[in-house]
Structure 1
């Protein structure tokens, strides 16, 4: 059985999407804003703006002989 009123404020839910979620669009926006954003951790060796290049076998040149 899907809820017909918002779990947060008790208002009537009108769309199927909000009924499935159980929370109205205004309350959903309000709760999304209060949830702190936790950034994804980056590896210690990562430098912003620097890309990793694939490793290739060293091909000898005239200067390396």
Structure 2
């Protein structure tokens, strides 16, 4: 049985200088995640006129 590949974005959390993957939500309206060290939460919304960029810095 083949696993379904989950869509993700790569994020560097500048608060703690760590990299983490942020996964798409069930509704497929945003990517949500948090810093693995301090727990700071981020949400990157999906919409028209967006970007093809797959890696981001969170401040």
TM-score (norm 2): 0.22
Q: Which has the higher helix share?
A: 1
Select the structure of larger CA radius of gyration.
1
**Larger RCO: 1 or 2 (CA < 8 Å, sep 6+):** 2
Q: TM-score, normalised by structure 1?
A: 0.21
Structure ranking higher in strand proportion = 2
